[in-house]
Amino acid sequence: MDVDAYSARHRQLWTRLDVLSRKRRLSGAEADELVLLYRRTSQQLARLQTHSPEPELVAGLSAVVARARGRIVGSSPDTWAEIVRFFTHGFPGAVYRALGWWLGVAVAFLSVAAGFATWVSVDDSARESLGLQGDTGALTAPGGAFETYYTEHSNDAFAAMVWTNNAWVSALALFLGVLILPVLYLLFMNALNIGVTAGLMADAGRLESFFGFLLPHGMLELTAIFIAGGAGLKLGWTLIDPGRMSRAEAVAHQGRHTAAIALGLVPTLLVAGLLEGFVTPSALPTPARIACGLIAEAAFLAYIFTAGRRANRTDAVAAHETAPVRMIAI
C-alpha cells in the first residue's frame, strides 16, 4: 500500500470531516454528510492502522474520527478536559518529539558560551577583539551593574518585565525558525552575551557571584529558550526536508506542534520570571537560591520526559484505541 498516495487521495475528505465535526451548527444536509464521511473515514483509518508505518498520521486521523464520533452521538467538548489534555499530552508530547533538536541547541549554546568565557578570562586581547571597554569594573565589582540589574526594580515589576522579554525571545526563536538563520543569530548572540559576562566575572575572581545570580532562574529560562530554538529550527528544516508529506502539509503539521510548544512555554517562562524576580535577588544564601532553581528545572524536565514519553506511546498505539471502527462498513 502506497501510504502517501492513499493519504493524498483522501485528505480532502478527512479535512471536510474535521471541519464539519468542529462546526457549532449543522444543517440537515451537513449532518447527513458528517455521518457518511465518518463511516468512510473510519474504514480508511482501519486500513491505515494495518498498513501505515507513520504513527503520527494514524494518531491525527484517529483524533478526527473521535471528534466526529463525539459530535454524532451528541457529546460536547469539555473545555477543562481539553486544557488538561493539552498540558498532559499535547505540550509535553510536542516537546518530547523535538528532543534531539533542543538538546542539540543546548549543547551548541553552552559550548559557544563556555568558549567565549574561557577566551575572555585568559586572553587579554579578547576584550579588544570584542570591542569591550578596557575597564569593566563597573560591571564586575561587588554591587556592580551585573548584580544591581536584579535589584534595581521592584520584584513584581522585574518579574513581569523578564517574563515579557523571555516570551518575546522564545516566540522569535519559534516562529522565525522557518527561516533558520535568524534563529541561529538570536541563539548565538545570547550565548555570546552570557559567555562574555562569565569571562569578565571569572577574570575579576567573581565567578561564584555570576553563577549565584544566574542559576536560580537561568536553568529553567535557558531550557525554555533551548526548546524554543530547537522547535523553531525543526520547523525550518521541515520546509527543506518535508519527508513523505508534501511541503505545505509537512510545514502545517509541524507548525501545529510549534504552536503547542509556544503556548506551553508561556507558563514555563512565567515560573522562570517569578524565580528571577523574587528568588534571584532575595537575601537567601546562594546555595538555597540555586537549589530553588534546580528544583524547578528538575520538576520541568521530569514532567517533559514522563508525560512526553507517555504521550508518544499513546499516539503510537492509537490504532488499538480505535479498533472497533473496523466493523463499520460504507
Q: Quote the pLDDT of residue 219.
A: 96
Residues in the chain, pLDDT under 70 = 1, 51-54, 74-78, 133-135, 316-330
Q: C-alpha grid cell for residue 320? A: 488499538
| pTM metric for this prediction | 0.75
CA dihedral 111, 113, 118, 123 (to 10 degrees): 130
Q: Helical H runs in 179-284? A: 181-203, 207-240, 247-274
Q: Quote the pLDDT of residue 170.
A: 86
Please spell the DSSP secondary structure of 37-105, one letter per residue: HHHHHHHHHHHHHHH---HHHHHHHHHHHHHHHHHHTT----HHHHHHHIIIIIHHHHHHHTHHHHHHH
Q: Quote the pLDDT of residue 237.
A: 94
What element of type H or E holds 310?
helix 286-316
Q: Give the tens place of pLDDT for each residue, 86-138.
A: 999 999 999 999 999 999 999 999 999 999 999 999 988 888 888 876 667 78
Find how far residue 106's CA is from the centre of its chain: 13
Q: Give the tens place of pLDDT for each residue, 202-224.
A: 988 999 999 999 999 999 999 99
Calpha distance 59→322 (Å, rounded): 10
